[in-house]
Structure 1
């Protein structure tokens, strides 16, 4: 209960031309098409994926 914060992650750029590893990370976040949004629990693992994909996603806290 100490960390009940959530963040919204939106895919704002297409995956064409990106590394295969980054495409898998986008899939791990649960994002599919451009414009898709997921509300995820704020954790170090999710933040790590977001930091890796900073050029593809937009984060709303």
Structure 2
């Protein structure tokens, strides 16, 4: 897979006080701190996690 199949996600809100499954989605995407970003593969699994925590992240499609 090349760079075209990746999505850049940035955590913009805190994980404190969130549902446990939302915290796990963020960690599964590689997001641990506010302001940090991660490039994840564009798969149905990752799209589902992104949709679940869309209110916590910012998405940059490259």
Are 2:48 and 1:48 equivalent residues in the alignment? Answer: yes
Give the alignment's TM-score, normalised by structure 2.
0.87
1:13 aligns with 2:3: no
Alpha-carbon RMSD: 1.1
Q: Which runs of 5+ in 1 are unaligned?
A: none
Structure 1 stretches of 4+ with a deviation exceeding 6 A read none
The size of the alignment, in residue pairs, is 59
Q: How many angstroms does 1:21 deviate by? A: 1.0
Structure 2: runs of 5+ lacking an equivalent: none
- Quick check: which one's helix share is greater? 2
The match for 2:35 is: 35
